Structure 1
Amino acid sequence: MATTEAVPGAAARRRSLLRPLAFAATLGFVLALLFGVPWWSLVMAGNDWPAAVQVGGTLVFALALVMFPVTMFLGHGRRVDWAARIGDTILGAVWILFVWAVIGDVLRLGMLVGGVDDPVRSRVAAGFTAVVALGLGVWGYREAMRVPRVRRVEVTIPRLGKGLDGLKIVQLTDTHYGPIDRVRWSQGVTEVVNSLGADIVAHTGDIADGTVAQRVEQAAPLGDVRAGLARVYVTGNHEYFGEAQGWLDHMRALGWEPLHNRHIVVERGGDRLVVAGVDDRTAAGTGLEGHRADHAQALDGADPDLPVLLLAHQPKQIDAAVAHGIDLQISGHTHGGQIWPFHYLVRVDQPVVQGLTRHGERTQLFTSRGAGFWGPPFRVFAPSEITQLTLRSAR
């Protein structure tokens, strides 16, 4: 009996020891690829650079490799903003370099087939990688830091009453107020939103990375947002990294309606629309009391004959929306991939990366690319947006 009990216990201890080792090994492998591929392509390979260039380039990559995990731990583990700014920038820069170094190596292979010898072949590939990565980095930074452009989309909802035809919903999502102080950016976003004359303004989560106290100045312009019928908000997954209930309370204090698994009804021209919201799908796993995505609770007491607009942070929550007969779900979360070609990885986790899609017979989903950015202050081939959704009745 004692032997039978000891074996499972020993196996459990071995598994508990192996997990951190496996994680460390995986992380080490990923970092080796991210930093090693561009280092080899730009500095070594067959470039035949002078020794001083090879040593200097190697030191730069080695310093970045050492600084990256340290600054990410301090920045996002300990919430030290200056460290987060450095770590996030390194992450974005090395991702861009890695992608274009791989593409440069394909170019190098093509030149090899074409008979071009080293060091010319490798230097051309290295020059291509450096120029494109630098250009995209500068452009991507400007794209991330600018006030988003407005994206206009019309959505036909068959059950929508004629009195609500032309209802304007402005969706704001993934503002991600964070380590970079963007008070002026936030003010600019509010000015754009107010210029659109929305009936409903909806923030679909990921307001900030951090607590209310840390980001209160950046979030303050949200209090000046205007809407004819309602301003509504749901939590995203990043609220649950910081202070979800605090953000719900703060948005209420700013005059917004937090749709914490609840709904309101808006009316225009004698017709009504249910506007519901659910918590982010990660909420239940946080252990925070009363927080979970609960569609049944959100729709409790709603007239089943009325059309329903649902705010849910992640597109992945669309299956539950279909099951509950939602007419239109609006989501964010994906950032459109943020830095190309990361959208391919996003697509593995989410059913949609961006845009208007249909799911089932009734339900439509609009996924915004978001207004801000998370982590790396870059957007490459994934522009930010403030979305104006105009609802049309089929009647």
Structure 2
Amino acid sequence: MRLGFILLNVLVGTSAVAVDYPLPAGHREAFMANTGAAMVASPGNVLFNPAGLGFRDTDKLSLSVSGNAISSQKFDIPYQKIVPQEMTIRPTLAASIYPTTFGTGAFFVANPLAFQIIASSSQSLSGGYFLNSTQKVRQDAIVIGGSFGSSLGERFAWGVSGGVQTGTDESTHYFTLTQGGAYASTQFAQRDEKKTAIIVIPGIMAKVTEAWTVGLSMKLLPFFIESTATEFSSKLESTSPTTIQETVTTYDPQAEASMAVRLGQNFSLIGGNRVNLDVVYNSQSKTRNADGTIDTSAEDWFYAFGWRNTSPEGWEPLFGYARGESEPATSDLITAGVSITKRRNEIIVGAFHMGTTPKSENGSKFSSYGIMFSSNVAF
């Protein structure tokens, strides 16, 4: 299952219960490299900073759906031939937002992390041995919850999102070792992990001036409802062809959850230009292995830039770039799109590319690209 462990490290410490996500998520935020800490009145506020709902200036109910219509992943391991190219359809966020007497409420369902890697490889080893392997890694996360935001005067707003997040990690590994065309050994290994946790996202936002807004939010996993992992392995060797060696281990993989802090700024510039700047800190987390040892995922930082230009013609270009820095790798996210607005209804289409570069010579590269869409309809 080596591929699974490499993949988790290459994706900058990401896991299915991570509190921050490297792939695009949200409404406008997804097309602006996930810059959302200081974004006002966006359906994506439920994930990035619910205080933005407090500055919503309409009494209309709105429904929003966004996601990646098509995406593909590529994964490179040194000295191995990798053939993932898995095409997926993945909704990212569905949110209903409605006004109340005291502020703005929302219900949402999000799938901000979903990918699958399938890798096949063949290697020549010393002593005339040949190793053939097939590996598969899949991660998925679903968040269901509600949000509320309210303003205190015209300059300050607060908000909180809360809900349940369920994450699954699955990896399988099958390999055969041959010599002279005869099997020397075969082995199959599988690991299934599921974690369900309470997620809380408090946030505040302030309009310092008419052209400058500042936002701060946190993502916390205060406790886990469920945390289980099962590892199964089966091995057969030519020296004992009638004896199958099997092991099954079930354990709790959660040792210490991480937290994320997001600080952002939004600037309204001349010519209808709007710029978002976000800095995100993810604390370290710890996971437990089947043998009881503890692995520590290092803390990491993300720096994101987002830009859009408002237009009286009803369409806006959007662009974003984010850079992530962690101990095992660096990551880059590039996003772009066009927003078309008619009355209070908005649709956005665009594309993204996300890639990671390992800092070790023996590390592995990962990249994902796809087409994105988002729509928001007000009633």
Normalised to the residue count of structure 2, the TM-score between the two structures is 0.29
Q: Which has the higher helix share?
A: 1
Normalised to the residue count of structure 1, the TM-score between the two structures is 0.28
Q: Which has the higher strand share?
A: 2
